[in-house]
Structure 1
Amino acid sequence: MSSPTHAGEKQPLLPRRGLGQTRETATDHSNRILFPKQARARKAVAEFRKKTRPPTPWEGRVGMHLPVDEIDIEQVAQSVTGWKALSEFEVVRLFPDTTTTSSSTTQQPQQHGEGEELPEIFVFSFGACIFWNFPNEAAEKEWISQTLLQELNECCGDSYKDDEIQEAMDSVSFQYYAPPAAAAAAENNNNNTSQPPIFTIKRDVCTLSTKESGEKLAVSFALAKSSLLSLYELRVQQVIERNSHLPEEMVQKGRVHMSTHDLTREIGRLFLVKHGINLDQSLIDTPEEFWEDDRFESTYDTTLKYFKITKRLDLVNERLDMVGELHNKILEENHTHHAVVLEWIIIILIVMEVLIEALVLVYEKS
């Protein structure tokens, strides 16, 4: 990854943000029959689950944010202050430097049980930031605004738009595996059914089998991908909304009054979104970290499955294919209409030529 340029000479780091630059505001159309608005159900269900979950001795917070489209993690590791940094491949792990004192009280870790769990941040090269054990969303946003976007501004690419940042935000809870009570443990030992702790995620609570940062990193990779996919889902929804009036117009008027130039531009926007989703290595590929250490790859796979990454990708592509099919039908209709117009022009010219020849013959005979 290239190092950042001097102040005032900062250049784009990734072409991906071109999607946001070419996107136009969705037109407000009353008809949404063929392209219903996508429901953001997961976050609503998550809030309900938080209210209905049985109480636990302690739960920490995991916050997901996607503020920018690119981060130079090597430069972050070198430039960040107040935090120790460990970088590898496409992610840098930040944890508090206990030799310094943070100036912000909102970034202090939560307390639980027998001791204090320090906060951690996993910063990914594609712009995602996963916060572990920060007290609340406000503290996470404060770190992003004060540290990432100010102190480390030269390490960042372009910021996403407010609606995209909001859509990519999410959170879950985490806790550490607690061994069973002594009586239950004795019974398990007698029955030879004792099992080693395993990672689980249920009702938006991650139960970590260890306290190793590698396990948190595996979960963070999956959470970061879910956050990035949420952004693409929003862009797909905006494509759908921008084109949702076209089928109704075809029904009411028999054809869509859209020039080939405008239609070609819309097809181009559609391809930008589709290529961004299917060619983004950060979203598709297995992280390189698991080629070096695959102990927690099953944790990563479990989290991906919980957030239904594969199904969501398939659904996004199906929706884009539907819009693409609509564009192809309109383009085909425009070509057919253009061909019909040309045929009528030729017929009219032939008729005019015949009439002129007839008038010439009549004039010559007279």
Structure 2
Amino acid sequence: MGTEKAAKEDDPGMIFFFREGAVVFWNVEEKSMKNIMHVLEQHEIQPYEVALVHWENEEINYRIGEGQSKLHKGEILLNSELDSDEVVLQKFAFSNALCLSVKLAIWESLLDNFVESIQSIPEILKSGRKVKLSHADVMQKIGELFALRHRINLSSDLLITPDFYWDREKLEELYDKTCQFLNINRRVKVMNEKLQHCMDLTDLMRNHLNEKHTLRLEWMIVILITIEVLFELARVVF
């Protein structure tokens, strides 16, 4: 959508809203940005922490000039000869990549918090101490990991180029270049490696708890057999 509250007069203000829960502003004055964010906050579903939202954002400078539109040395150049429709599409391509980067940054923060919550477990296991987690706690941890992995690899566009760009090669090039600049592919790879390590650790905890449960059942069976034998001996003797 457009806005009359542009920060600079040489380019109309523009705002892109994405289903991932991100919004990208182009040449919008700060007061208008804050007002729009305030309106969006009233319609949030399962919002993230305010500090996290303000911390995990992306900013890229842009200018309008001669030559093909591109991202060069951390700055976006928009071709001054483009018509209004082409400008909107190119801004959308850049915004799309920025949106993915912000969403990925949020998930990176969530994963870091998860890693912090389980980082003491390897040392506890190494020292032979008891892990103070129930089977339900471990299953909850596994569920959190699977949910995060599903969002990253299945329900987002982080691993594939969206269908929108299949017949728009120029826009796809702008989108891909911006994704490369923001290191999205490498960050996704690192996140999946961290997720795999966390999955291995939670599987280890689950197996450990299952073994303890199995051992407890075996001892109960041994005790019951022993009691039965004692009753039989008592009946024979007395």
Q: TM-score, normalised by structure 1?
A: 0.57
Q: Which residue of 2 aligns with 1:201?
A: 72
3-state SS in 2 of match to 1:170:
coil
What corresponds to 1:122 in structure 2?
Answer: 16
Which one is further off, 301-310 or 211-220? 211-220
Q: Does 1:306 align with 2:181?
A: yes
1:222 touches 1:300 (CA, 8 Å); kept in 2? yes
Call closer, same or farther: CA 1:96–1:163 in 2, change over 3 Å. Answer: closer
Task: Go from structure 1 to structure 2 and tell me whether the alpha carbon gap of 1:159 and 1:247 turns closer, same or farther (over 3 Å shift).
Answer: same
Structure 1, residues 315-350: CA drift from partner, whole Å, max 9, x if none? 111111111111111111111112222222222333
Q: Distance in 2 between matches of 1:347 and 1:249?
A: 30
Partner of 1:200, secondary structure, is strand
Relative contact order, higher structure (CA 8 A, sep 6+): 1
Q: Who is 1:68 aligned against? A: none
The aligned residue for residue 28 of structure 2 is 134
Measured in 2, the distance between the counterparts of 1:207 and 1:322 equals: 41
| SS across alignment from 1:342 | helix
Contact 1:167 1:230 (C-alpha < 8 Å) held by counterparts: no
1:152-174 alpha-carbon deviations (Å, 9 max, x no partner): x5xx6554331442243221111
Partner Cα distance (1:351, 1:149) in 2: 65
Aligned pair 1:174/2:62, yes or no? Answer: yes
Deviations 1:127-174 (A, max 9, x none): 2211112344x542233225x456xx5xx6554331442243221111
Structure 2, unpaired ranges of 5+: none
Matched residues in 2 for 1:157 and 1:347: separation? 53
Matched, 1:162 2:50: yes
Is the 8 Å Cα contact of residues 174 and 205 (structure 1) preserved in structure 2?
A: yes
Partner Cα separation in structure 2 for residue 166 and residue 242 of structure 1: 23
Identity of aligned residues (%): 27
3-state DSSP class of the match of 1:125? coil
**Paired residue for 1:246?**
121
Q: Give the alignment's Cα RMSD to 1 decimal.
A: 2.5
CA distance in 2, matches of 1:157, 1:284: 25
Q: Does the CA contact (< 8 Å) of 1:167 and 1:234 recur in 2? A: no
Match for 1:169: what amino acid? Answer: N
TM-score, normalization by structure 2: 0.84
What secondary structure is seen at the aligned counterpart in 1 of 2:169? coil
SS of match in other structure, 2:20: coil
Q: Which runs of 5+ in 1 are unaligned?
A: 1-93, 98-106, 179-195
What's the CA shift for 1:223?
A: 0.5
Per-residue CA distance 1:292-333 (angstroms, 9 max, x = gap): 533221111000111111111111111111111111111111
Are the equivalent residues in 2 in contact too, given 1:175–1:208 (CA < 8 A)?
yes
Residue 144 of structure 1 is aligned with which of 37, 54, 62?
37
